[in-house]
Structure 1
Amino acid sequence: MALTLGIVGGGQLARMMIAPAAELGVRVRVLAEEEGMSAALAATAVGDYRDLDTVRAFARDVDVVTFDHEHVPQDVLRALVADGIRVHPGPDALQFAQDKLAMRARLAELGMPQPEWAAVTDAAELQSFLDANGGRVVVKTPRGGYDGKGVRVVSDPAEVADWFDGGALLAEELVDFSRELAQQVARRPSGELRAYPVVETVQRGGVCAEVVAPAPHGGARLTEVAASIGTSIAEGLGVTGMLAVELFETTDERLLVNELAMRPHNSGHWSQDGAVTGQFEQHVRAVLDLPLGDPSPRQPWAVMVNILGGPETDSLESRFPAVLAAHPAVKVHTYGKAPRPGRKVGHVNAFGDEVDAVVYEARAAAAFFGD
């Protein structure tokens, strides 16, 4: 009998798991937040992922539950586990992707390299941290932030006064970094683990805009250290499925852990077409405890460029004939989302032997979808 994978969340990550799951003979069910979401083609239920009865009813008909996002409450997750439902990643691991303060404390216990940080509960504590860290720091809400939301760079506690009534905040040093990197690792419940090559990510306005795989000017040492960090975190937290570790490479060539995601991640979209086993297939394999695939790149370079915003006068799909004619080697992926400024509505992947040529190809293809 075919396995059935249940995905909580109807966004684009769920959407992109559907095809590789089907190719593995795996049935997919999706609990979408509302009708017409990205993963609507496999959405078999619509409901609130925060409601235990809704999620429990959905999980009853699947073999494994996994996620499009990290926002399902801990009490819901733990109730599913108590019911005997296989949940991957499980609540013990997922809590560290849900709460940045918990993540920082646990990574410190594991000896992972991190920025200087502190939990601050009021203006006086934040001022003390500011004084100790150059007078300008990053402040984050511990829960719920993504794509630059819930993050502020401040030099005065008054700049986050509206956040203090929500409990402790995470204050971090403003890292002097030369670039941002990401390390992905896949781990299955039985312990098998595979690491992808470390990649360079380019952020614009707090949103990932481009990814180059592997990270240029990396060398064996960077590859080894990044993979070691990713592997140690995956094993130390007991992650199952895909793990993305966002990293800063500092101006003195150290690596510091920025944030974690326990699911397929924007930094891994390049692998969809550019690796032997893409991250979406790998996540399906991992959470179902199937043997993991080869994460090696198919060509020397792969570049992903996000489509942000898009045309308001016509559909993204109306641009396909022109872009496919101009760039026949580029792969285009759209998410079934209505375009609006700054919103991720798709991405393009390009690959080849020369990094500059591949970057140009990906950027030129993505430009067809601009306003």
Structure 2
Amino acid sequence: MDTRTGLPVVGMVGAGQLARMTHQAAIALGQSLRVLAAAPDDGAALVAADVQFGDHTDLAALRTFAKGCDVVTFDHEHVPTEHIRTLAAEGVKLYPGADALLYAQDKRAMRERLSALGAPVPRWRPDAADLASFGDEVGWPVVAKAVRGGYDGRGVWMLDAGSPLPPGVELMLEERVPLRRELAVQVARSPFGQVAAYPVVETVQRDGICVEVLAPAPGLPEELAVAAQQLAIDIATALGVVGLLAVELFEVDGGLVVNELAMRPHNSGHWTIEGARTSQFEQHLRAVLDYPMGDTTLTAPAVVMANVLGGEPGGMSIDERLHHLFAAEPGVKVHLYGKQVRPGRKIGHVTALGDDLDDVRERAGRAAKWLQEGSLRPRESQ
């Protein structure tokens, strides 16, 4: 408990953009957010008052960090499971717990558990030993995934018959799903067991990176949207998740297939800062503190979030681009993460709201393109 405020201290392991935006939500709630950062220029370390430095794989650093925290949570899934179990045994309250977080850390364990629950998943194999027979069974190419790690297109390979396996990587195999599009749904769950579901969104990918999120998912039949929300609630409940759960989905002929799970605030929910009555970051804090859940309804009929990726070196400074953007698009909200710019790196996002999806999407895409390239021309159609 923070004796200055009489309110809990929440510790977040990791100090990237998710912790940075969680810090913003904590300010409004009066909470004290402590972050464990790897370096002084981490996004949250640049803005948070209570910053400790250490490696998330160092048990001693985690012990020191957790001291004085009422609850500890995470902005990534990479804390070793055995460290989480050790801290919990020593009396530290951690959400999500190790038993739940395992299924966001280990894709093989996730597929095994979801299959046992009867959740819709692609056909898969636990390792790459039977690549040839599996490819002949489900069709080529086959998707190979690193069992642990991997994000934004990393750790995923499309293999044809005779393709060499990536060296030094523990792999599992999945069929290539004939998807119509990618969707995502987020739910929050408290220790008490209360759940709150956000509207289902469409995520638009390019080169394995999410470039846009459309809320709500356009043209999604109501019965399928309800089914997606119920599926996410069922998974969160069965796995004992506390905090945010993001379920990435494929829409296919005849229904839905689960792609990935994340147990933290997620890129597919950044739109909620302006686009929902309660942002995903506030909701995550509410959940881990066992507060009642907030309202998840949209604040506008159409909301679009577009990721801002780093562009090539040179040209206008980011500050100059902001000047021009705000003059051209005063209604677009900008979130920059304090990151050094590298080509293709997520350095921020923009959100636009309105009544007409096409107009909102064009404004968001134009704003993201300007911040990336210094050009206000609309993005190429996705």
| Aligned-pair Cα RMSD in Å | 1.2
Bigger shift: 96-105 or 82-91?
Answer: 82-91
Shift of residue 8, structure 1, vs aligned partner: 0.3
Aligned partner of 1:32 among 37, 57, 64: 37
Map of 1:244 onto structure 2: 246
Asked if structure 2 preserves the Cα contact closer than 8 Å seen for 1:126 and 1:157, the reply is no
Map of 2:197 onto structure 1: 195
Map of 1:68 onto structure 2: 75
Aligned residue for 2:192, secondary structure, equals coil
Asked if structure 1 preserves the Cα contact closer than 8 Å seen for 2:224 and 2:255, the reply is no
Asked if structure 2 preserves the Cα contact closer than 8 Å seen for 1:97 and 1:261, the reply is yes
Map of 1:133 onto structure 2: 138
The 1-side partners of 2:110 and 2:53 are apart by 31
Aligned residue for 1:69, secondary structure, equals coil
Shift of residue 320, structure 1, vs aligned partner: 1.3
TM-score (norm 1): 0.96
TM-score (norm 2): 0.93
The 2-side partners of 1:4 and 1:156 are apart by 53
Map of 1:184 onto structure 2: 186
One-letter amino acid matched to 1:212: L
1:57 equivalenced with 2:64 (yes/no): yes
Aligned residue for 2:303, secondary structure, equals strand
One-letter amino acid matched to 2:307: N
One-letter amino acid matched to 2:53: V
The 2-side partners of 1:45 and 1:121 are apart by 41
Map of 2:292 onto structure 1: 291
One-letter amino acid matched to 1:56: R
Aligned partner of 2:94 among 83, 87, 91: 87
Shift of residue 25, structure 1, vs aligned partner: 1.0
Map of 2:272 onto structure 1: 271
One-letter amino acid matched to 1:240: V
The 1-side partners of 2:166 and 2:195 are apart by 43
Map of 2:379 onto structure 1: none
Aligned pairs (5 A) from 1:279-318: 279-310=280-311, 312-313=313-314, 314-318=316-320
Aligned residues: 365
Bigger shift: 42-51 or 182-191?
Answer: 42-51
Asked if structure 2 preserves the Cα contact closer than 8 Å seen for 1:186 and 1:240, the reply is yes
Shift of residue 157, structure 1, vs aligned partner: 5.1
Aligned pairs (5 A) from 1:141-152: 141-152=146-157
The 2-side partners of 1:76 and 1:119 are apart by 25
Gaps of 5+ in 1: none
The 2-side partners of 1:148 and 1:156 are apart by 21
Aligned residue for 2:319, secondary structure, equals helix
Shift of residue 52, structure 1, vs aligned partner: 0.3
The 1-side partners of 2:115 and 2:317 are apart by 47
| 1:154-213, Cα deviation, whole Å (9 max, x unpaired) | 1135431514xx44x210000000100001001011100000000000011111000000
| 1:83-109, Cα deviation, whole Å (9 max, x unpaired) | 111101110100000000000000011
Deviation >6 Å, runs of 4+: none
Map of 2:3 onto structure 1: none
